[in-house]
A and B are shown apart, each in its own frame.
Chain A
Amino acid sequence: MNIKAARNLRRISQGLFLILFLFLLFKTEFRGTFSENSQENIRLSYPVRIFLDIDPLAAVSTAISTHSLYKPIIWSLIVIIGSILIGRLFCGWICPLGTLNHIFSSFKSDKKREKIINSNRYKNWQSVKFYILFGMLAAAVFSSLQTGLLDPISFTIRSLATSIIPGLNYIMRLILDSMYATENSFLQFVSNLGYKIFENNLFTFKQLYFHNSFIIGIIFLTVLIFNRIIIRFWCRGICPLGALLGIFSKLSIFGMEKDHEKCTYCDKCLIDCQGADEPIAGVKWKSHECVLCFNCQASCPEDVIHFKFFPKQESIGALAPDLTRRRLIISLGAGFTLFPILRAASGLEKNYNPKLIRPPGSLEEKDFLARCIRCGECMKVCPTNAIHPTLLEAGPEGIWTPFLIMRMGYCEDTCVLCSQICPTGSIWEIDEETKSGGENGNRVKIGTAFIDQGRCLPHAMDIPCIVCEEHCPTSPKAIHLKDVTVIDRNGEKVELRQPYVDPELCWGCGICEYMCPVKDKPAIYVTNVGETRSPENRLLLEA
Chain B
Amino acid sequence: MERRKFIKLTARAGAGVIASGGMGFWLASRSKKPTVRTEIGTRLDYTIPPSPDLPELASAKGDSPSELTEMVINALGGINRFISQGDIVVIKPNIGWDRIPQQAANTNPEVVKKTVELCYNAGAKKVIVTDASCNDPRRCFARSGIANAAEKAGAEVKLPEKRKLKNVNMDGVILKNWPIYSHYLEADKVINIPILKHHNLTRLTIGMKNWYGMIGGIRSQLHQDIHNSIADLAQFMKPTLVILDAFRVLLTNGPQGGSPRDVKNMNIIAAGTDQVAVDAYGAHLFGINPDEIPFITIAHQRGLGKMDISEINIKNMIT
Task: Point out residues on A near B: beta carbons under 8 Å.
Answer: 30-36, 38-39, 42, 173, 176-177, 180-181, 191, 205-207, 383-384, 412-415, 457, 463-467, 469-471, 473-477, 481, 497, 511, 515-517, 519
Minimum CB–CB distance from A156 to chain B (whole Å) comes to: 26
Q: Are B220 and A412 touching (Cβ within 8 A)?
A: no
* Given pairs A384-B136, A517-B221, 8 additional interface contacts (CB within 8 A): A34-B147, A36-B148, A412-B139, A413-B135, A415-B139, A464-B224, A467-B223, A511-B135
Q: Are B145 and A38 touching (Cβ within 8 A)?
A: yes
Q: State in angstroms the CA–CA spacing of A177 and B182 once bound together.
A: 14
Check if B162 is an interface residue, CB within 8 A of chain A.
Answer: yes
Q: State in angstroms the CA–CA spacing of A480 and B101 once bound together.
A: 25
Chain A neighbourhood of B262, CB < 8 A: 475
Given A473-B256, A517-B221, A206 contacting B142 (CB threshold 8 A): no
Check if B282 is an interface residue, CB within 8 A of chain A.
Answer: no
Contact with A along B134-172 (1 / 0, CB 8 A): 111111011111011001000001010011000000000
Closest-by-CB residue of A relative to B258 is A475
Minimum CB–CB distance from B116 to chain A (whole Å) comes to: 14
Check if B304 is an interface residue, CB within 8 A of chain A.
Answer: no
Chain B neighbourhood of A516, CB < 8 A: 220
Check if B255 is an interface residue, CB within 8 A of chain A.
Answer: yes
Q: Are A475 and B142 touching (Cβ within 8 A)?
A: no
Q: Are B163 and A38 touching (Cβ within 8 A)?
A: no
Chain A neighbourhood of B257, CB < 8 A: 475
Check if B246 is an interface residue, CB within 8 A of chain A.
Answer: no
Closest-by-CB residue of A relative to B136 is A383
5 A-B contact pairs sorted by A residue (CB < 8 Å): A34-B151, A415-B98, A467-B223, A469-B200, A517-B218
Check if B201 is an interface residue, CB within 8 A of chain A.
Answer: yes
Name the residue among A31, A415, A457, A475 with the largest chain B CB count within 10 angstroms.
A475
Minimum CB–CB distance from A194 to chain B (whole Å) comes to: 11
Which bracket fits the contact residues of B? 35 or more
Chain A neighbourhood of B220, CB < 8 A: 467, 515-517
Q: Are B148 and A34 touching (Cβ within 8 A)?
A: yes
Q: State in angstroms the CA–CA spacing of A365 and B98 once bound together.
A: 30
Check if B20 is an interface residue, CB within 8 A of chain A.
Answer: no
Minimum CB–CB distance from A119 to chain B (whole Å) comes to: 45
Closest CB pairs A-B (n = 3): A38-B145, A475-B258, A32-B138
Check if B261 is an interface residue, CB within 8 A of chain A.
Answer: yes
Q: Are A414 and B218 touching (Cβ within 8 A)?
A: no
Chain B neighbourhood of A481, CB < 8 A: 200
Q: State in angstroms the CA–CA spacing of A457 and B148 once bound together.
A: 40
Chain A neighbourhood of B277, CB < 8 A: none
Minimum CB–CB distance from B92 to chain A (whole Å) comes to: 18
Check if B259 is an interface residue, CB within 8 A of chain A.
Answer: yes
Chain A neighbourhood of B138, CB < 8 A: 30-32, 205, 383
Closest-by-CB residue of A relative to B205 is A470
Check if B226 is an interface residue, CB within 8 A of chain A.
Answer: yes
Given A206-B162, A470-B201, A481-B200, A32 contacting B256 (CB threshold 8 A): no
Closest-by-CB residue of A relative to B138 is A32
Chain A neighbourhood of B47, CB < 8 A: none
Q: Are A38 and B253 touching (Cβ within 8 A)?
A: no
Q: Are B142 and A38 touching (Cβ within 8 A)?
A: yes
Chain A neighbourhood of B109, CB < 8 A: 38
Check if B180 is an interface residue, CB within 8 A of chain A.
Answer: no
Q: Are B258 and A32 touching (Cβ within 8 A)?
A: no
Q: Are A38 and B144 touching (Cβ within 8 A)?
A: yes
Check if B199 is an interface residue, CB within 8 A of chain A.
Answer: yes
Check if B100 is an interface residue, CB within 8 A of chain A.
Answer: yes
Q: Are B163 and A413 touching (Cβ within 8 A)?
A: no
Q: Are B159 and A477 touching (Cβ within 8 A)?
A: no
